[in-house]
Structure 1
Amino acid sequence: MIKATVEPACTGQFSQLFLDYLAEKNELREFYSHFPKIENFEKLIAAKQFSQSNREILVEALERQYAGIDLTDASLAQIKSLGEAHTFTVTTGHQLNLFTGPLYFIYKIVSTINLAKQLKSKYPKYHFVPVYWMGAEDHDFDEVNYFKLDGKKYQWHTNQQGAVGEFEIDDSFREFLKTVPFAHQVFKDAYLSSKTVAEAARKYVHTLFAAEGLVIIDGNDVALKKLLIPVVESDLVDHIPFQKANEKTAALEQLGYKSQVFPREINFFYMDKGVRERIEKVGGQYQVLNTSMVYSESEIKDLIQSHPERFSPNVVLRPLYQEMILPNIAYLGGPAEVAYWFQLKGVFEYYQVPFPAVMPRNFAVILEPLAQKKQEQLGLSDMELFLDFEAWKKAHVAQNAILDIRLAEEKQQLTMLMTVASQRAVKVDATLESAFEAAKVRTIKILDHLAGKVRKAEERRLATDLNRMQTLKQMMYPDGNQQERVENMMKFYLADEGFIAKLLANFDPLDFNYLILKLENE
């Protein structure tokens, strides 16, 4: 695999807030703690005062969550290291997409692992554990119940409701599995040996990344949720997160940036078996939407104390929860994630929870040998791969046409001829000037029409080049979307089990350029 890099802006896929952050614009400074440069992590480490009691709760929770998985001594040591004061985490998170979903799921984890390695090299007296936060509490099943491979969508249909992580691997899933006989054994083993989607996801992510020291955490844990009790109560009763998030959101909007998340007065869902629904306060009572559950303020407070696991944070409070239960110093995510963390700085400040380095995961497109051949045939630089197809086609046809497709010289000659003829004619009759001018306009329009025909003829002559570029664009942007947001990792992993190792060798989490990874012929 060969790595090339291009500027982020050339892809045209990133928000202005994200690009301004990467450019370290001063106007954004109040919305984060430290820019993710290797030298700034010493300050982040110093700021993260994480109690020993919380470390012990974390280790016990992880040991419980990993029960049933045969851990190596190295994996067990990674978990136990979190109980030590010199250990810190770097984290990424994502929903439980079927079979990992799009490629960027893998990119997030690889970026996080490599950041832990770079930090260890820079700060050897500390230990850094890469963490994948499973979005097991998410309930938007339609977002995660499929994966795409080589243009085909493979989708699991079930009537189960509630948090996706609690969905059972039932007969409907086993029937679905028969439709993907090509699936790698890693996934078949994980799903068929598990009771729930969360258990299966833990198993296949562990199999893929345990050798790199990755630790997988599920926030849907009673012991961990107990640490969140004060936040749950202040959110439901006093709406503090709503106030603080809105203050930062308004400040960002005043600078001209668009909001990525929209805080609510209550930012928790009620979650139980088969249920994950919003909580709303109506007339002094707390209602769980789409259910018959209604609680008074005293009843909801009692429920928070007795069953904190039934309260599931939404996107506004999930980052705070993560930082409260992990000795974390960096979060790696996509452009939208980086942007919405900025809306939450005030929430962190209120609860006196240190704000981590918020940084982009690596972004990449993979060019297989056929795509590279087409790039070479077209004589395209790496930067030119990201040109808009229509703009590129117009420029390419104009540059390689046998005849000037604009017929510019002919138009100029015609204009001169009509001007001379008009000058002679007006000597006979001054009223002829307007007639000649109108004729000139009509004739230029005829030439414009003919120029269009010439352009189309040149496009037909250059059809091979245009088809190559269209095919290349389809490889990079399947159905108009970024490859990393569409294709599943099995597109490459089935052909080469060393695929992840190659990503690890090429991704630099502190290089914020867009990567072009060129696969070599074996």
Structure 2
Amino acid sequence: MIATSQYTVQHVPLPQTQQFGQLFLDFLAQKEWLAPLHGHYPSVFNFEKQIALKQGFSSDSRNTLTQVLREQYANITVSPEVSNNIEALLQPNTFTITTGHQLNIFTGPLYFIYKIVTVINVSQKLSEQFPQYNFVPVYWAATEDHDAAEINHFNLFGKKYEWTTAQTGAVGRFSTEGLGDLLDTLPERFELFEKAYREHRSLSEATCIFINELFGNQGLVMLDADHAAFKKALRPVMQQDIFEQLTQKQTATAQTLLEANGHKPQIHIREINFFYLDKNVRERIVKDGETYRTLNTDLVWTTAQMAELIENSPEKLSPNVSLRPVYQELILPNLSYTGGAAEVAYWLQLKPVFDALHLPYPILLPRNFVLFITAANAKKISKLELSQDDIWRDEASLKQQYLAEVGAEFSAEIIQKQIQQLFEQLGTQAAQADKTLQDFVKAEAARTEKIVEGIEKRVRKAEEKKHETAINQIISLKQKLFPNGGLQERSENFLNYYANNPLFIKQLLETIDPFRIEFHVLTESI
């Protein structure tokens, strides 16, 4: 356990939390069978090996990357750290450390913040370890995603706030219209988002504004890959996926290996893994006989026309989840990707595609997992005499444990065994007089056992009633730490903490160890 001026930090092994799938745990345990599906394991010293793999990233690609970033930041007052990082990307000794996420309004769930904290801290630690290189933390904004329902809401102070919009297509191109009305419904004014959503037209630009405000001093660079200059680099992949089904064919080996070891693939790989992208439209491309068409539209192409579209207008095509990683690694001098357990799981399906394309596969570095315990909740844990291990247990076992500790846990198990023994004796003696009485005795035994079960339930209910206040406090605490039975970081928004503590992010950056792949439990000082 580590003590800081703000928090006590406990590191809990991920398997102990019972919150993660076995595939992710197998990856962390470096199971031998998984070796063909990933690259170097996420440790500081393996980054030097990854740098050697990525040394071939071209100067032309660096020039394109820098030019597009300059364009995207042209109307934003950036920090010197961000500006320096953008320019440093021109240099062959500069590499990126990347995470990606959707454009959730108001940052969405807490784990988005933890993703970014992870890549910033990784970049810092690598800079200390390898001072001859530059490391730039990057947030890859999923601007081409079209699932508005996943990004249009967030939870603040126990209430859900939702942005109602009829816009369709790539969310990064959405107008911020209507977000001003949502701001008016919030219980407090947050200047950070007032500026972003009221003064900027697109959701992508507005997101860049608050990302820059929150993390600009740490040099975090946000990248919007919805750009024609980037899509040119993806043209060979478009051709091989659409015309040759490269992705589906290559991932078949990974799927077979996963299934052979008892795991279902995380994502479904399609025959064609590109969408058609245009104003208000992002729809799947499918092969229909000898032609190609876009679902839910009248657009149809011959093979020649599709080849022409790829060559002359690649910006009209958008990769799905299975090719977004390939796109990322094509346009960034990237060393690692940071994501959650589900992201690591789907990246494990894609290694054969990288191999077929002769593209370096990045280090998969899981994001930091964090449970934040406020001072108020820390007091409750202390008062209820719960340990740090106890908070991970389910409500039923916590309740049972509490009743046992106060001597109120009632069990009729011993009595039931005694009843069984007595009726067995009765049955034996009765059978000696009349064998037909055995069934009667068995029926009476079953009836008696049910009577005892009923008594046991009534006694337990009475004990729970007697200790109702303490039990309710335990359940209330559990629900605060694990809203709706899930992880806090997947439900709450960072404003729940940042609103009362503007140093919240700074303290996270100072406290969390990015290479310690365990659950960080941060308990606020009482």
Alignment of 1:299-448 (within 5 A): 299-402=305-408, 405-408=410-413, 410-411=415-416, 438-448=443-453
Counterpart-to-counterpart distance in 2, 1:268 and 1:406: 60
Letter in 1 for 2:298: S
The match for 1:110 is 117
Using a 3 Å threshold, how does the CA distance of structure 1 residues 296 and 471 change in structure 2: closer, same or farther?
Answer: same
CA drift at 1:417: 6.4
Letter in 2 for 1:225: K
Counterpart-to-counterpart distance in 2, 1:122 and 1:398: 51
Counterpart-to-counterpart distance in 2, 1:324 and 1:444: 69
**Bigger shift: 110-119 or 285-294?**
285-294
The match for 2:172 is 165
Whether 1:225 aligns to 2:235 is no
The match for 2:51 is 45
Q: Deviations over 1:434-473 (max 9, x none)?
A: 6556544433332222111111111112212211211111
The partner residue of 1:264 within 256, 263, 270 is: 270
The partner residue of 2:515 within 506, 510, 517 is: 510
The match for 1:486 is 491
Using a 3 Å threshold, how does the CA distance of structure 1 residues 408 and 259 change in structure 2: closer, same or farther?
Answer: closer
CA drift at 1:225: 1.1
Tell me, yes or no, if the aligned pair for 1:133 and 1:217 is still in contact at 8 Å.
yes
Tell me, yes or no, if the aligned pair for 2:180 and 2:194 is still in contact at 8 Å.
no
Q: Deviations over 1:179-217 (max 9, x none)?
A: 225242111111112110000001100110010111111
Letter in 1 for 2:354: F
Alignment of 1:1-400 (within 5 A): 1-48=7-54, 49-170=56-177, 172-180=178-186, 182-400=188-406
CA drift at 1:517: 1.2
Tell me, yes or no, if the aligned pair for 1:151 and 1:478 is still in contact at 8 Å.
no
What is the TM-score when the length of structure 1 is the normalising length?
Answer: 0.95
Please give the secondary structure, in 2, of the residue aligned with 1:501: helix
Counterpart-to-counterpart distance in 2, 1:7 and 1:518: 17
Aligned residue pairs, count: 519
Using a 3 Å threshold, how does the CA distance of structure 1 residues 444 and 59 change in structure 2: closer, same or farther?
Answer: same
Q: Deviations over 1:210-251 (max 9, x none)?
A: 101111111111111111111111111111122112222222
Tell me, yes or no, if the aligned pair for 1:397 and 1:455 is still in contact at 8 Å.
no
CA drift at 1:300: 1.4
CA drift at 1:91: 0.2
Counterpart-to-counterpart distance in 2, 1:429 and 1:164: 82
Using a 3 Å threshold, how does the CA distance of structure 1 residues 213 and 443 change in structure 2: closer, same or farther?
Answer: same
Letter in 2 for 1:494: A
Please give the secondary structure, in 1, of the residue aligned with 2:45: helix
Counterpart-to-counterpart distance in 1, 2:47 and 2:14: 24
Whether 1:450 aligns to 2:455 is yes
Counterpart-to-counterpart distance in 2, 1:425 and 1:466: 47
**What residue ranges of structure 2 are gaps of 5+ in the alignment?**
1-6
Question: RMSD between aligned alpha carbons?
Answer: 2.0
Letter in 2 for 1:38: V
Whether 1:471 aligns to 2:476 is yes
Tell me, yes or no, if the aligned pair for 1:184 and 1:490 is still in contact at 8 Å.
no
Counterpart-to-counterpart distance in 1, 2:387 and 2:156: 28
Tell me, yes or no, if the aligned pair for 1:136 and 1:218 is still in contact at 8 Å.
yes
Whether 1:520 aligns to 2:517 is no
Please give the secondary structure, in 2, of the residue aligned with 1:286: strand
Tell me, yes or no, if the aligned pair for 1:36 and 1:358 is still in contact at 8 Å.
yes
The match for 2:3 is none
Please give the secondary structure, in 1, of the residue aligned with 2:185: coil
Counterpart-to-counterpart distance in 1, 2:11 and 2:474: 20
Q: Deviations over 1:392-450 (max 9, x none)?
A: 22333244334x61235555665676677778888888876765565444333322221
Using a 3 Å threshold, how does the CA distance of structure 1 residues 370 and 426 change in structure 2: closer, same or farther?
Answer: same
Q: Deviations over 1:152-193 (max 9, x none)?
A: 1111111111100000122x3322222225242111111112
Q: Deviations over 1:33-83 (max 9, x none)?
A: 111011111110101121111111111111011110112333211100011
Tell me, yes or no, if the aligned pair for 1:406 and 1:448 is still in contact at 8 Å.
no
Counterpart-to-counterpart distance in 1, 2:272 and 2:15: 36
**Bigger shift: 452-461 or 333-342?**
452-461
CA drift at 1:2: 2.1
Counterpart-to-counterpart distance in 2, 1:418 and 1:102: 59
Tell me, yes or no, if the aligned pair for 2:170 and 2:280 is still in contact at 8 Å.
yes
Using a 3 Å threshold, how does the CA distance of structure 1 residues 413 and 336 change in structure 2: closer, same or farther?
Answer: closer
**Bigger shift: 245-254 or 361-370?**
245-254
**Bigger shift: 273-282 or 297-306?**
297-306
What is the TM-score when the length of structure 2 is the normalising length?
Answer: 0.94
CA drift at 1:124: 1.3
Tell me, yes or no, if the aligned pair for 2:57 and 2:333 is still in contact at 8 Å.
yes
Letter in 1 for 2:64: I
Letter in 2 for 1:120: S
Counterpart-to-counterpart distance in 2, 1:191 and 1:296: 42
Letter in 2 for 1:452: K
**Bigger shift: 39-48 or 9-18?**
9-18
Please give the secondary structure, in 1, of the residue aligned with 2:222: strand
Over the matched positions of the two proteins, sequence identity in percent amounts to: 42
Tell me, yes or no, if the aligned pair for 1:90 and 1:128 is still in contact at 8 Å.
yes
Counterpart-to-counterpart distance in 2, 1:238 and 1:311: 16
Counterpart-to-counterpart distance in 2, 1:327 and 1:229: 18
**Bigger shift: 241-250 or 273-282?**
241-250
Counterpart-to-counterpart distance in 2, 1:214 and 1:240: 34
Letter in 2 for 1:495: N
Counterpart-to-counterpart distance in 2, 1:414 and 1:225: 77
Using a 3 Å threshold, how does the CA distance of structure 1 residues 180 and 432 change in structure 2: closer, same or farther?
Answer: closer
Letter in 1 for 2:488: Q
Counterpart-to-counterpart distance in 1, 2:299 and 2:419: 82
Please give the secondary structure, in 2, of the residue aligned with 1:515: strand
**Bigger shift: 112-121 or 405-414?**
405-414
Counterpart-to-counterpart distance in 1, 2:78 and 2:428: 94
Tell me, yes or no, if the aligned pair for 2:254 and 2:349 is still in contact at 8 Å.
yes
Using a 3 Å threshold, how does the CA distance of structure 1 residues 460 and 223 change in structure 2: closer, same or farther?
Answer: same
